[in-house]
Structure 1
Amino acid sequence: MSNPSERSFDARVPLEVAHQALEAIVAEAARAVPEEACGLLLGAGGRITEARAATNVALDKARHFEIDPAALIDAHRAERGGGPELVGYYHSHPSGLPEPSVTDREQAAGDGKVWAIAAQGMVRFWRDDPDGFEPLSYMLAEA
C-alpha cells in the first residue's frame, strides 16, 4: 500500500488501537447503561489513537444511537485543519452482542469507516463496507 490511509480499508491488516482508546470505549459503554454510548474513533490510517465520547441524540437511547451532529462537524473541521482523521465510530449494545445489529446494518453508510461495538465488556471492530460489515482484527498499541 502506498498511502497509509488505505490501511483502514484493508481487513487483512490488523488495526492498531491505543490502549487508552479501547479502555475509553469500555468505560463509556459501562457508564451509559441502560442507554447506548456512542462516540468517534480518531487517529490516522489503520491506527486509532483516541475514542472521543459524543452525546447520543437518538430518541430511544436504550435501543439506538445517533452521534450528535455537532461532534461530527467538529471532527471533520479538525481533520481538514490538520487534526486527527475521523477513522470511524463506536457505540454500545447494553443488552446485546458486540456485533452489528439489524438496525446497525440498516443505518450503515457503506463508507468503509471503522465501527467499534462494545457489549458484555468486550469491543469488536468492523469495517462498514458497501456490501455489509466485515470483522476486523486489531492489536493494542501505545498512544
Structure 2
Amino acid sequence: MHVIMTIQVLARMLSEAQAALPRECCGILLGTGNRFTEARPAANVHPEPETHFEIDPQALIDAHRAARAGGPQVVGYYHSHPTGAAEPSATDRAMASGDGRVWAIVGTDKVSFWQDTPDGFRALSYLVEES
C-alpha cells in the first residue's frame, strides 16, 4: 500500500513540525482511503510535549463528527520527533492501537508513513502530487 497527498499536505506537516520545536507537533490526516487531502494541526496536550504527543481529544471528536456529517474521513495522524528519526519510537509502539490508520512521522530530516496494524507498524511508500 502507498499513500497519496498533495505537496501542500506534506508542506503543512513539515512547517508544523518546525514551528513546534523543541516540542512534538501533532495533528490529524483527513481524506478518503489512501489519499490525504488535509493535515489538520491539533494541540499537543501531553504533559511532556518535548518527548511525547497526545492529540487534543476535542479535535479528534470534531474531526470524527465532521466525517459522519459527510466531510473528509480521519485516515490517520501525524506527529514529529524533533530530535529523532522518522520512524516509530518505543513510545509510539506502546501507544499504537492496531486500528489500521496511517501515522506520518516527521523526523529531523524526512517524513515517513506507517500503517498501524494489529501486528505492529508497517512502513508505507508515498506519492506527492503537485495539487
TM-score after normalising by structure 1: 0.90
Aligned residue for 1:82?
70
CA distance in 2, matches of 1:34, 1:49: 27
TM-superposed CA distance for 1:142, in Å, is 4.1
Aligned residue for 1:113?
101
Unpaired runs of at least 5, structure 2: none
Aligned residue for 1:131?
119
Residue correspondence of structure 1 range 1-143 to structure 2 within 5 A: 11=1, 14-143=2-131
Q: Contact 1:114 / 1:126 at 8 angstroms: preserved in 2?
A: yes
Q: CA RMSD in A?
A: 0.8
TM-superposed CA distance for 1:120, in Å, is 1.4
Q: Contact 1:26 / 1:121 at 8 angstroms: preserved in 2?
A: no
CA distance in 1, matches of 2:61, 2:93: 23
TM-score after normalising by structure 2: 0.98
Q: Contact 1:57 / 1:68 at 8 angstroms: preserved in 2?
A: yes
Partner secondary structure for residue 137 of structure 1: strand
| Superposition misfits of 4+ residues, deviation over 4 angstroms | none
Q: Tell me the alpha carbon deviations over residues 80-100 of structure 1, each in whole angstroms, 9 at most, x when there is no partner.
A: 000001000000000100000
Q: Tell me the alpha carbon deviations over residues 28-56 of structure 1, each in whole angstroms, 9 at most, x when there is no partner.
A: 00110100000000010110011010000
